[in-house]
Amino acid sequence: MITFDKVSRRYGDRVAVDHVELEVPDGEICVLLGESGSGKSTLLRMVNRLVEPSSGLVLVQGQDARSVHPQQLRLKIGYVIQSVGLFPHWRVEDNVATVPRLLKWPPRKISERTDALLDLVGLPPKLFRTRFPHELSGGQAQRVGLARALAADPPLLLMDEPFSALDPATRRGLQTSLRQIHQETGKTILFVTHDVEEAIVLADKLAVLDDGKLVAQGRSRDLLRPDAPYPVRQLFGQEAIAFHRLATIPAQMLAEPGDYGMAPVLEPNASLKQALMMMLAQGAPAVKVAETASTPGGTVQWSSLLERL
Ligand SMILES: Nc1ncnc2c1ncn2[C@@H]1O[C@H](COP(=O)(O)OP(=O)(O)OP(=O)(O)O)[C@@H](O)[C@H]1O
């Protein structure tokens, strides 16, 4: 758990972070969302003491961050940034092993851990272990950055716009991978983005910053309402807020028993936004949600979807 207790950061007259009170619960992905300059990175960097608060407290797993030496603190906290920051003359395996080596793990344990992590982030070790960073695509490099951050199994991960420099398809792939990795590892993740769709896809908890102030926090589906605070409506777009809300609701929730013949079929974990997009793309009044061993599937109709908007 990370707790921000009335945390502020001032630079001269400028208030970058203004009395923020926020908890990042254990095992959740908390997304800090806000326009450029709203204070997201400043707040995130206070967790690993790259920035110190001007006032207030940052508690990392119940402990005042200031009471722990920054180097000790950073060993417990994985950090992933947009520019990745891999060491260019080190092979992938050496980059991933950075922190375990600092911790003087035995070589065999480091080697096994490197293989396991490369598998986890979707880079087969046989193909990627010995490559250099310049032999990787941007998405692959970011996957190595994620493996490196996870190497010593830290309970917390800080991710500062990690996918912002990637093309949309690669970015979606990494978002899906991150959710899967999160499910498998149960890490507590604080993730910064200014991309509203990325925030909705990833957030268990969404925290919206505006001009250094925390203006809303909660589950996306609870925040995305017509009566949301003005900065939230402005960020998501007044007209688009209902559309974004559909992305937070599983299509499965509106699926009714019955088969409407030739209706197109959605994946079992698709959202209502995907259902709507498929209806629009195919001119279909209904879509089927595929069944799984644990969910019955069924049909979502245009009329019931409109009622949810
Ligand atoms: N070292 C610094 N010195 C002076 N002002 C700073 C410093 N770091 C940040 N700021 C200011 O604090 C405010 C918040 O910056 P911050 O980088 O946290 O915003 P952000 O929401 O992460 O923006 P972006 O999405 O563009 O990275 C900005 O007005 C910025 O100019």
Instruction: Quickly state the pLDDT bin for 260 (edges 50, 70, 90).
Output: low
Instruction: Quickly state the pLDDT bin for 292 (edges 50, 70, 90).
Output: confident
Question: pLDDT by residue (tens digit) across 8-39?
Answer: 999 999 999 999 999 999 999 999 999 999 99
Q: What is the dihedral of CA 87, 92, 95, 101, to 10 degrees?
A: -140
Average pLDDT over residues 227-231: 89
Instruction: Quickly state the pLDDT bin for 52 (edges 50, 70, 90).
Output: very high
Ligand 1 centroid vs 16 CA: distance in angstroms? 6
Residue 250, φ and ψ in degrees, nearest 5:
-65, 135
Share of the chain above pLDDT 70, in %: 99
Helix axis angle for 168-185 and 138-150, nearest 10°, is 20
228, 248 contact by CB (below 8 A): no
The answer to whether residue 258 scores a pLDDT higher than 70 is yes
- Atom number of ligand 1 nearest to Cα 17: 14
Ligand 1 centroid vs 17 CA: distance in angstroms? 9
The mean pLDDT of the chain is 91
Specify the higher pLDDT residue, 114 or 177: 114
Beta bridge partners of 64: 59
Residue 42 beta carbon below 6 angstroms from any ligand 1 atom = yes
The answer to whether residue 308 scores a pLDDT higher than 80 is no
Average pLDDT over residues 247-258: 88
Where do the DSSP E strands lie in 145-204?
156-160, 188-193
Beta bridge partners of 23: 3
Q: Whose CA is nearest to atom 30 of ligand 1?
A: 37
* Alpha carbons 96 and 86: distance in angstroms, whole number: 9
Average pLDDT over residues 96-115: 93
Q: Whose CA is nearest to atom 27 of ligand 1?
A: 36
Ligand 1 centroid vs 6 CA: distance in angstroms? 18
- Atom number of ligand 1 nearest to Cα 212: 14
Q: Whose CA is nearest to atom 6 of ligand 1?
A: 11
- Give me the pLDDT at residue 20, please: 98
Residue 41 beta carbon below 6 angstroms from any ligand 1 atom = yes
Ligand 1 centroid vs 18 CA: distance in angstroms? 12
**55-59, 83-87, 214-218: segment of lowest average pLDDT:** 83-87
* Alpha carbons 208 and 225: distance in angstroms, whole number: 14
- Give me the pLDDT at residue 261, please: 72
Question: pLDDT by residue (tens digit) across 146-185?
Answer: 999 999 999 999 999 988 888 888 888 889 889 988 998 9
Beta bridge partners of 58: 4
Ligand 1 centroid vs 41 CA: distance in angstroms? 7
The answer to whether residue 234 scores a pLDDT higher than 80 is yes
